[in-house]
Chain A
Amino acid sequence: MIEIKNLSKRFGSFVAVDDVSFQVGRGEVLGFLGPNGAGKSTTMKMATGFLAPSSGEVRICGLDMLGDPMRAKEKIGYVPEGAPAYPDMTPQEFLEFVGSVRGLAGDAKRARVEEVMKLVHLESHRHRPIEKLSKGFKRRVGLAQAILHDPEVLIMDEPTDGLDPNQKHEVRKLIKSMAPNKAIVLSTHILEEVKAVCTRVIIVNRGKIVFDGTPADFEARAPRGTSEPAMDVVFRSLTTSDAAKA
């Protein structure tokens, strides 16, 4: 449902994303990993139509993001990095605004906003301005906004960043419960998160894909007998420059 073909992004002479291709199908949860500045966010920004690629192609449910952006964007729910939202609005107002833009109206909109607020446990804070909410609640607003139209494709940039362990657990549970009907991509720095929710892992380093496989494959690459968690070792060996060639 997500097709990324030979995607590249150059900023001047700096190549942020270098010829990246992958596909994500229904039921897959893809964990997008890599060191800071590896091109994760840039790739996601291109996949969601925020950034125009320097070259390459993005297709969402068969729709070309460059040729038919409006219809392609309808298929996507997106949580940008930091889950930005209008600080002076309340979650209720904000979700109703997103609902109107997503083509919901009247009772259907109100019912859906209600439903989604329940799903992310936001009801108790529905009338507080978003700027006064804690980080955890802000993240939930961002998540609620992304799933409001029950999109087929869900793209999330570090959805659990800054959450406490309980909140992380909640978000992961929610992602897992939605997984069977959607194609999901999430970026993260937490390697356990990959084991907990993802069915597939892609590691990017310096704009290139250096690993693409299941979490089990990923873990199996670790040499035996290390005291550190296996995933950490593999991650490091893939993303530090000498080993990346091997």
Chain B
Amino acid sequence: MRNVTAILRRELAGYFFTPVAYVFLVIFLWLAGWFTLFLGQLYERRQADLEPFFTFVPWLYLFLLPAIAMRLWSEERRNGTIELLMTLPVSIGQAVTGKFLAAWLFAGCALVLTLPLVITVNYLGDPDNGVILAGYLGAFLMAGGYLAIGACISSVTKNQVIAFVLAVVACLLLMLAGFKPVMDLVPERWAIVTEALAAIGLLTHFESISKGVVDLRDVLYFLTLIAFCLFANAVILEQKKAD
């Protein structure tokens, strides 16, 4: 636990030592606001909810979160600090967990900073704050899923650009699996394929949570995704930490 905290703190501070954190936060908040207010027509809809925000968040995450995850391990490899980290009395599991939690916490901070949107709809009308809270929970879980995928991929290469692109593609595939227009492409008699896609698709699970139905299965889906990716991350590091 002590080691996980030490690594988490170092990693989190690392975001703020460099411009990464500030660029990310500004772009994320600006895009989130713009998507919600203008593209999502929050005012014109005359409905006090944050549906427009939660519709766009998965797409915003798709491009922004891999940028947060790409440095986690690629940077260690490029700097050679992986040799230092792996010869300190820290287990691979602790290092993987600490780094992931730092990125997840950072994504959580970005999410908390969108609170003015919640205040806005509460000022304008009388929204169901339970649904909004569920939406935030879903968004946070989804961020964890994306980041775990990104962290795992960044452990494969020392090139951050490659890590970024591969992570975006992996997240996109997982997202598209549960995207309605894609599922509609599958002929109707292959209902089993549609069901399978919906089961592994990120969006299906996110949408059901963000509608206000916090089903344990959806939560478990994200937690399983995170656990699986982090496990793969640890195995990859164990196998090829010195390459």
Say yes or no: A50 contacts B83, CB within 8 Å. yes
| Interface positions of A (Cβ within 8 A of B) | 45, 48-51, 69-71, 73-74, 76, 78, 80-82, 84-89, 93, 97-98, 100-103, 129, 145
Say yes or no: B84 contacts A145, CB within 8 Å. yes
Task: Return B81 CB to nearest CB of chain A, in Å.
Answer: 5
Say yes or no: A101 contacts B14, CB within 8 Å. no
Residue of A nearest to B16 (CB): A88
Say yes or no: B89 contacts A48, CB within 8 Å. no
Is B241 engaged at the interface, CB distance under 8 Å to the other chain? Answer: yes
Say yes or no: A51 contacts B242, CB within 8 Å. yes
Partner of A97, one of B2, B10, B79, B86: B10
| Residues of chain B with a CB closer than 8 A to A87's CB | 79
- A70 to B94: give the CA distance in the assembly, Å: 12
Is B7 engaged at the interface, CB distance under 8 Å to the other chain? Answer: yes
Partner of B88, one of A71, A82, A101: A101
Residue of B nearest to A94 (CB): B10
- A145 to B87: give the CA distance in the assembly, Å: 12
Say yes or no: B83 contacts A80, CB within 8 Å. yes
Is B130 engaged at the interface, CB distance under 8 Å to the other chain? Answer: no
Say yes or no: B81 contacts A84, CB within 8 Å. yes
Say yes or no: B13 contacts A93, CB within 8 Å. yes
Partner of A101, one of B7, B80, B81: B7
Task: Return B165 CB to nearest CB of chain A, in Å.
Answer: 23
Count contacts on B: residues with CB < 8 A to the other chain: 24
Task: Return A7 CB to nearest CB of chain B, in Å.
Answer: 15
Is B120 engaged at the interface, CB distance under 8 Å to the other chain? Answer: no
Say yes or no: A84 contacts B83, CB within 8 Å. yes
Say yes or no: A101 contacts B90, CB within 8 Å. yes
29 contacts between A and B (CB under 8 A): A45-B83, A48-B87, A49-B86, A49-B87, A50-B83, A50-B86, A50-B241, A69-B91, A73-B87, A73-B88, A73-B89, A74-B89, A80-B84, A84-B83, A86-B10, A86-B81, A87-B79, A88-B14, A89-B14, A89-B17, A93-B13, A97-B6, A97-B9, A100-B5, A100-B9, A101-B90, A103-B2, A103-B89, A145-B84
Residue from A49, A97, A101 having most chain B Cβ neighbours under 10 A: A101
| Residues of chain A with a CB closer than 8 A to B6's CB | 97, 100-101
Residue of B nearest to A149 (CB): B89
| Residues of chain B with a CB closer than 8 A to A101's CB | 2-3, 6-7, 88-90
| Residues of chain A with a CB closer than 8 A to B86's CB | 49-50
Task: Return B240 CB to nearest CB of chain A, in Å.
Answer: 11
